[in-house]
A = this chain, B = another copy of it.
C-alpha cells in the first residue's frame, strides 16, 4: 500500500490546468503500488489515476514507460494510457514529483489464480511481447543477472538473520547462475513484473495489464520465467504443474518458444526466483522505522528456488514437446 506524497488542493488545481479534463471533482489516495503514490481522480472527463513517481523510479526512465503504454494500447493491448497535456507532453510535475495522469482501467486482480487465469496470462504475455517488437525506445534491465551480486552484497551477512546459511547459499547460487546464464536468446521489451497484482480480470477473462514501471529490454523467455514463478506456485511452495502447462500453452498460442528458449527455461526460472529473492531481501533488511509499507517475504522465493534447483528440463514447468 502506498500514498507517500500528499497533494494540496491548490497544486492539484494548477496541475490540472495543463490538461483538458476539467477540475477535480474527487481525489482519493489509493492503496496500490509500493513504488509510487497513486490517487484516483474524478473530473467531468471521467476517472483517472494520478501517479506521482517517488524516488525509486528514475525520472529519465519515465518517457520509456509512458511511451510504452501508449504504444501497446495502439497495438490493441488493453492497458492504461498516459493522458497528454494540451501541449502534447505526458509527463508533468506536482508536489515536487514527476507525475502523470493515467486513464482508469476496469478490472480486478485475482488473489488465488486458477489454471484458467494462468493460461490467459501466458497468452497476454506473448501478445505483449509481439506488440512491443516495434517500440522505438529501449531500456536496459537494471535487475538482470549483472545487478544481482551487488544486491547480495548489500544484504551481506545480515541475510543470515533472515534464514541461517542464506548468505552463503546466495553466494553459491549466484556463482552457478553467472556460469550458466544463457545469452543470444530472442530479446525484446518485457514487462518484468507481471504478478497477479498487475493483471486484471472481469468475469474470469483477462481484461488488461497495468504497472509497466519495471519494463525493459531482455530475453522474452525470462519474462515467462518470472510469470511461472509469480503465478504457478501454491502458498506452501509447491509448483502446480497444471498451472505451468496452462501458462506455457497460453503463451505458445501466440508465440512459440524456440528450442534454445525451451532449453534455457529451468535456468531462467532459477534466475527469476533469485531476482525477487534478492530485491525482497534488501527491502526486508531496510525497512525504515515508522514505514507504512510491510515488505514482502523474501523466503517465499527461497522456497521456490528449492524447486528450481531440482528441475531437469522445461517439461518440469509444463512445456509439452
Binding site for B on A (CB under 8 A): 1, 3, 6, 8-9, 12, 23-32, 40, 42, 47, 104-108, 110-112, 200, 202-203, 290, 292, 294
Contacts and interface: CB of A to CB of B under 8 A. Distances in A.
A38 to B, nearest CB: 9
B107 A26 contact: yes
Nearest to A42: B106
Given A8-B111, A42-B106, A112-B8, A1 B29 contact: yes
Chain A at the B interface: SS class: loop
A23 B107 CA distance: 11
A292 B2 CA distance: 10
Contacts of A203: 23
A24 B112 contact: no
Contacts of A31: 1, 3, 28-31
Contact of A40 (B3, B30, B112): B30
Given A26-B108, A28-B40, A30-B30, 18 more contacts: A1-B3, A3-B31, A8-B112, A9-B110, A9-B111, A12-B108, A25-B106, A25-B107, A25-B108, A25-B202, A26-B104, A26-B200, A28-B32, A29-B30, A29-B31, A30-B40, A42-B106, A290-B294
Contacts of A106: 25-26, 42
A200 B38 CA distance: 20
Contacts of A26: 104-108, 200
A290 B203 CA distance: 36
A102 to B, nearest CB: 13
A6 B1 CA distance: 12
A31 B112 CA distance: 24
Contacts of A30: 28-31, 40
A108 B28 CA distance: 8
Contacts of A6: 111
16 contacts: A1-B29, A3-B31, A9-B112, A12-B108, A23-B202, A23-B203, A24-B108, A25-B107, A26-B104, A26-B105, A26-B106, A28-B32, A28-B40, A30-B30, A42-B106, A290-B294
Nearest to A6: B111
